[in-house]
A = this chain, B = another copy of it.
Amino acid sequence: MTISKAQIKWVRSLQQKKFRDEAQLFVAEGDKCISELLPAFEVELLIVDGTRSTLHDVPCSAQRLVSAGETEIAQMSSLRTPQGSIAVFRQRPNSPCASQYADFILALDGVQDPGNLGTIIRTCDWFGVHQVVCSKDTADCYNPKVVQATMGALARVQVDYVDLPAWLEQQQMPVYGTLLDGRNIYWTGAIAERDRGIIVMGNEGNGISEAVRPLITHPLYIPSAESDRVESLNVAIATAVTLAEFRRPNNTNK
């Protein structure tokens, strides 16, 4: 079946959060990204340009598979260079209670930039952190820019949105967070337990919010090599340096 005008309009509408939230759907583009997400998300519609995609043999009921040409794909794409396939996936239900199974949880307190959020989710996947809990004012993980920046990691990292201060209050784990008056992350006493905890990262401009700050039980800071530097690191970079430090073996023989 060939894609209809109404379907094109509908897929385009999912670039807006309002319509994504209503329908509980999101869009991913390109064979590589779609293939990574297929094991984790239910397909609502798979749109394939047979000349530029190898996804036509994906197990997917015929009524959910439509073909489209380069022009139609370009009309729906949010990429600068549209690829040969677009998938509409069903969002996962919000279920932050799963925290009991995790060793580490990353909590995001107002991260605004979709590129940063996508990179953070990709980095979590790398460092084996499978749960990210976000404040309601954090960027939407189903924003097309986030989905593409995760490079498929969204399939392996559960992202939930909660009232962050209330959620943190219920947790029984150490709560780490980078604060200006925190303890040097390289000091052996800064990290209480290396195998479990919640790591909070704050907003790009303002850091961790006033409501969350008192809930940090273990304040940390990443020292700069320059003593006069007060500027912060990019939040995705600070997340990576922090996760690397938690996951770092003390020494390794290989």
- The reply to whether the CB of A60 lies closer than 8 angstroms to some CB of chain B is no
In the bound complex, residues from chain B placing their C-beta under 8 Å from that of A151 are: 231
Per-residue interface assignment for chain A, residues 50 to 76, with 1 indicating a CB less than 8 Å from any chain B CB and 0 otherwise: 000000000000000000000000000
A251 interface neighbour in B127, B188, B224, B226, Cβ under 8 Å: B188
Q: Tell me if A224 and B126 are in contact (CB < 8 A).
A: yes
Q: Note all chain B residues with C-beta closer than 8 A to A122.
A: 233-234, 237
The CA-CA distance from A252 to B244 in the complex, in Å, is: 17
| New contact pairs (17) apart from A119-B234, A123-B237, CB-CB < 8 Å | A122-B237, A123-B233, A125-B231, A126-B226, A126-B231, A126-B233, A127-B224, A127-B225, A184-B254, A187-B252, A187-B253, A188-B251, A225-B247, A233-B240, A237-B240, A240-B241, A244-B244
Could you tell me if A225 and B126 are in contact, using CB atoms closer than 8 angstroms? yes
Chain A residues 106-155 with CB under 8 Å of chain B are 115, 119, 122-123, 125-129, 151-153
The 11 sampled A-B contact pairs (Cβ below 8 Å) are: A122-B234, A126-B226, A127-B224, A128-B225, A151-B231, A186-B252, A187-B253, A225-B247, A233-B240, A234-B236, A236-B237
Interface centre among A151, A225, A245 (most CB of B within 10 A): A225
| A248 interface contact, C-beta 8 A | yes
A249 part of interface (Cβ distance < 8 Å): yes
